[in-house]
Every structure is written in structure tokens, then in C-alpha cells.
A and B are shown apart, each in its own frame.
Chain A
Amino acid sequence: MNKTLLIFRHEFLHTIKRKGFIIMTLIVPLLALLAIGVFQLISGIAKPTVEITTIGYVDESGGFQQYTSQGNITLVCFDTSDDATKALVKGDIKEYFVIPSDYVSIGVISRYTLEKQLDAPADITAAIKNFLLSNLLGGRIPPETIDRVEAPLNLVTTRLTETGAVAPEQGGLGNLIIPGVFSLLLALSIIFSSTYLLQGLGEEKESRLIEVLLSSVSARQLLIGKVLGLGVAGLVQVVVWVVSAPLLLNLASSSIGGFISTIQLPANFLVLAVVYFILGYLLFAVLSAGIGAISSNSREGQQLIGIFTIPLLIPLWFGSLLIAFPNNPIWVVLTIFPLTAPVEVIIRLGVSDIPAWELAASIAVLALSIIGGLLLTAKVFRTYLLMYGKRPNLGEIVRSLRSA
């Protein structure tokens, strides 16, 4: 065990001294700090620049004379389209629209602007809509009712617990931010840690250092020491992120407020983030060690491990679908399938609740896959670690697994 510890210590220290590792660990909190700073800066500059926009209109239908001040937008009436076009070209107005004589029956409004736009800006659209509504309804119904027709709904959702009390965790978009970002970081951390393992093995294999190591320690000691050493280094990284998240969040919500203050960490999030990092890493470490043993150099190994890192990232690709359809059974499959589970569980925590049985099944399947992978890897590790130059084909590996 002593020698395993030595390898563990060496791999751990060697990894945390790597420039890439240090940058990756520090850059996430630093970027978050920077983002908070930039937000403050921009919001500080942006506030006083609110100005009144003037747009024109031509009323061919008649009866649209009042309510010409809509928030920051002022509407000016022109007699003809030609007058409006001249004013537009001169720059007196930003744009204009025409209310045709048959507007009430067909509802078409023609809009003219000098700018190239994807679609009419939301504030302009809202201003025109409210202007039309107010003029159509003005005098016929009370102004309060007009206000309600303009904005009939301000939905405030409160989540209750099973006992009927207000739940501490309210869900919503604020709940998704941290898990969304974190699932990406978790995937990166798992990929980096297992890539380091693969590179390390590749380097030792290419330099034949592996022979010196194996003449000092057993293959089992080498495997365990490496997997744990790199794993703990990755865990340090995740813990730095996890610990900095609530601190940064406090800083952000006190300085920025608004939407940021609605961001919250889902219950059990920190615990599950660490648990799924450990399990996810161990699974990928075992796979990396096996692939590192059979591939002849680290480049080839990295191509092979790609087959397994793609499933790890799949939950990120389908994140928007998850938000749209959170109850589709496919998410249950991704939660339980071991290669997708770590990232999927973290994202789902932000979107909806995960039933306890799914978490239990997911953790159990991951643990079993790790044990199974370890048994297989231990068998090929010693055999193929010393084979250089030629990667064994699948048939040869299966044969050596049988005979081992």
C-alpha cells in the first residue's frame, strides 16, 4: 500500500502543478468575478442612456389621435405617406407606420424604416400595439380596463411542499443557471482528469518508463495510485468551484440584484455535484486506463476515449429540449445510463425534481459499471501495457480477456 501511496502522491502533485490545471481551476471563479464586474459596469453606463424615440404614423383610417405618448416612445401624426417619408429621410423620426382605411376589418399595419432589422423591436411593437388598443377602446371602457387588456397577466408562481407550506426551493430560471453552468464544468473536469491519466500512461508507455515502474511496483499499485491521484486532483478543482459558487452568488446578488438574486442552488446540489464527479471520474478513469494500456501512444488513446466522452456531453446538447419537455421518459434513460448520468443528473436538478429511485438506480448502475470496468481493465492492463507499436484488435482483446 505504501508504494500505491507514493504513486498517488506523485501523480497528485504532478497534476496540480500543471499550468493547464491551475488555469482551469482558477479561471472559472475569475471569469465569474469578471462577469459580475462587467455587468456592474455596463448597467452603470446603460441606465442614463434612456431617451425618447420619436416615430411617425399616417392615419388613413381616422380616430387614432390620442395616447401618442407610449413610455419612451412618442408618436407623431403625418397627413400623407410622402410627408412621413421626407421626415424619415431627414432624420426627424426613426420610422413610421401607416394605419390603412380598412384597418379595423383587416388589421394590417405597414411599417417603414431605414434600418436593417431581423424583426420589429419588441418595444416598438408594444408601443404601436398599445397605441392602437388605447385608441380603439378609449372612451368606451374605463381606463383601468384598458390597462388590463394591455397587460392581462403577471404570473407569480409559488411552489408548495406536500404539507402545504411554501417550499424553500422555488424553481424557475434562477434555479437552472448554476446547474447548467456546473454540468458543463463537471463534464470538462471529468474529461480533463481522465485525459491527464491517458496522457500520463501514454508518456510512460512511449518513454518505456513503464518498464522501470513495473520493475518496482505491481500493475495494480500503479493503476490504483494513478487513478486516485488524478481523481483527487480533479476533486480539488470541483470543490474549489463548488465552494466559490455560493460566495460569488452572494457577491453578485448583493451588487447586481434583480434577476441574479433569484438564482439559487437546488437542494442537495453541492453534495450530488461531488458524488457525481467522483463516480463519473472513476468510470472515465477506468476506461482511460484500459484504453491507455491498449493504445500505442497518447494521441491514439485520445481518439479512442472520444467514443466515450461524446455520451458524457449528450445531456448538454439536449439541454434545451429538457427545459421544453422535462417529463419525457428519455431523461430517465439518460439519468440511469452510466456514461450520460453525471451530467444529466446535474442539469435535471435545475429543471425539475429527480425521484429518489432514479437517483438510487443511477448511482447503483454507475458504481456497478465502475467495478465491472475495473475488473476488465485490470486484466488487459498488465498484458498490453508492455506491448508497443501495435494496437491489439478487438478479437485479440476478447481472447486475452478470456484467457486471463
Chain B
Amino acid sequence: MPAVEVNHIVKSYADKAAVDDLSFSVAQGEIFGLIGPNGAGKTTTIRMMMDIIKPDSGDVTILGENLSEASKSKLGYLPEERGLYRKLSVLDSIIYLASLKGMDRHSAEEKANELLNQTGMLHHKGKKIEELSRGMGQIIQFIVTIIHDPELVILDEPFAGLDPVNTELLKRMFADLRNQGKAVILSTHRMNEVEELCDRILMINDGRAVLYGNLSEIKSRYRKHSVILDFEKELREVPGVTEKRTHKGYVELVLDGNTTPQQVLERLLSTGIVINRFEVATPSLNEIFLEVVGERHE
């Protein structure tokens, strides 16, 4: 049973379609990237998944059922822009929001202490939210998002404004969630985070799906016909290479249509140069994105 099944959802505001006929599914035990530029319709899609707003048409099933009050407790949501009750203490904030997800007070407090300890925030638990730094507040919100052990966790730009230490902490916790068989949806416009964490992705632009599927498949599909080479000594002319682009620390060799990277490697070795690095160039998600979006715009 997929964690999320989205079928042909449409949502329009005034005369503009924010989400236009979007379909995808997310499996349990995977980290799914929902990516796209600002204003692509990511947040609107998430809100429809959370049943905060209703789609004009199409439907969403979460864990095999339409979302109801009861099934909202199986979801954890970290919205893009964040805040908590400024005057409330850390522990009280966590317990209140956990109780709205159906946890009883006692187990909420127990779990809160455990998570605060895990994130090194335990000694801040009596402080008011307004006394915390921005990054600390974000960690507290992440705790609120996962404290009730949700089956599906949706995170909208989770790393925005976090320092590298907390970013690593969060990444580790995402991996833990996946290993526990939870579905994690990561919505972001930062492609490098997606490449590092996600198993599958949905890329949307102007409310429509432009790329959908396994991340490594997508990358191989958009593989350019070139190799990356770091070497010592002088590089001579290699047959089958049409262009040589010099970058900092490496050169990129663009191959002609009939030459495989394997053949180039053999030819390079035969010239006698010392090769430190040789790899088939895969485009970054960012480049794929620009390529795809560029295509659509043309």
C-alpha cells in the first residue's frame, strides 16, 4: 500500500491554476523529493495532501484512505515558514501540539524528553520559545512534526536557515525515519539536498509534473555524452573527442556519437598519461532542472 496516492488533482486560485492535473505516489520507507522553483505549486500540493485545502478535482489517499480527522494523526507536517507560541515553554508547546495529534499527556512528555535529549536540547525545555534562537526553534518544530510517530512526514524546506551541525542532525533523523519504514516527503528548491537524500522525485513547474521517477534513472536518462578526467602530464589529441572543456581541477571531454566512454579510457591509457580520476559525467539535478524547464519555456 503506498503511503500517498495522488490522482489528477487540480487547484485554481482566481483564474490561475496553482496545481494542474498532478498525479504521483509515494511508497512507505522512501524519501521522496517534491522539487520545483518557488511558486511551482509545491506548498499547494502539500496542503491538499494534508487536507488543509480541498482540491477542485482529483483525489488524495493517504495510507489507502481518504484523509479524516483520525488519519490526520498519522501525518507529520513541517510547514515552510515556521513559528510556535512565543510565550509558551518548549515542553508545553510540544505537549500541546502532540496532544492535538492524539497523544496523551504522559506519553507526549516522555517522548518529548527523549527527542529533546537526542537533539541536545533537553536543558532548554523550560525556556519560552521566544528565548530560543531561530535554529533551535526549528529543531523544536521538527520534534513536534515527528513526536507522534507519524506514518508519513512532510517537510517543506526543512533546512532553510539551519547551520551545518543542525542540518546534519536533521539528515540523520530523516534517514532513521526511512529506516523505520516511514514515508518522508521533502519539498525543496535546493537540488543538492535532494540528490543527497531522495530515492525518488517529482519535479513540478507551473503546477505540472515535469519529471517523475527514480532519481538515478532520471540522472542516467539525462546523462550527457561526456567524461570527466583528472590527469597528470600533457593530454594529447584523443580520437572520438569532439570538444575539450577545462574546468578547475578537471577537464570534461565531449564524445562524438560513435564513441563510448570505455573506448576513450582505453585510448587515454594508451597515450601513457597518469589518470587520477575518470568518470562518466552525470548532470546535476540542477542542470537537469534547467534543461527541462528551459525546454518547456521554449
Contact = CB atoms under 8 A, between A and B. Distances in A.
B69 A3 contact: yes
Given A216-B72, A386-B47, A207 B83 contact: yes
A3 B100 contact: yes
Contacts of B40: none
Interface string B121-159: 000000000000000000001001000000000000000
B100 A206 contact: no
B43 to A, nearest CB: 9
Given A6-B100, A203-B85, A211 B73 contact: no
B267 interface: no
B97 A216 contact: yes
Chain B interface main SS type: loop
Contacts, number: 62
B47 A217 contact: no
Contacts of A217: 69, 72, 100
A72 interface: no
Given A3-B69, A6-B100, A386-B47, A215 B77 contact: yes
Interface string A205-221: 01111011111111001
Nearest to A2: B102
A135 B51 CA distance: 94
Contacts of A382: 53
B47 A208 contact: no
B222 interface: no
B77 A6 contact: no
A14 B92 CA distance: 11
A403 to B, nearest CB: 11
Contacts of B96: 6, 10
A221 B53 CA distance: 15
Nearest to B52: A214
Chain A interface main SS type: helix
A382 B54 CA distance: 10
Contact of A207 (B51, B73, B80, B82): B82
B97 A203 contact: no
Contacts of B79: 208, 211-212
A214 B101 CA distance: 11
B280 to A, nearest CB: 43
Contacts of B97: 212-213, 216
A68 to B, nearest CB: 72
B75 interface: yes
B113 interface: no
B120 to A, nearest CB: 23
A201 to B, nearest CB: 12
A215 B52 contact: yes
Nearest to B148: A216
Contact of A216 (B84, B87, B100): B100
A217 B51 CA distance: 10
Contacts of B50: 211, 214-215
B83 A209 contact: yes
Nearest to A213: B100
Contact of A218 (B69, B73, B81, B144): B69
Contact of B83 (A206, A216, A386): A206
Nearest to A221: B69
Contact of A208 (B72, B83, B144): B83
Interface string B92-105: 00001101110000
Given A206-B83, A207-B83, A212-B141, 12 more contacts: A207-B81, A208-B82, A211-B77, A212-B79, A213-B100, A215-B51, A215-B72, A215-B77, A216-B101, A217-B69, A217-B72, A386-B52
Interface of A: 3, 6-7, 10, 14, 203, 206-209, 211-218, 221, 382, 386
9 closest cross-chain pairs (CB), A and B: A207-B83, A216-B100, A211-B79, A215-B77, A215-B50, A208-B81, A214-B52, A208-B79, A6-B99
20 contacts: A6-B96, A6-B100, A10-B96, A206-B83, A207-B81, A207-B83, A207-B85, A208-B82, A209-B84, A211-B50, A211-B77, A212-B79, A212-B144, A215-B52, A216-B73, A216-B97, A216-B101, A217-B69, A217-B72, A386-B47
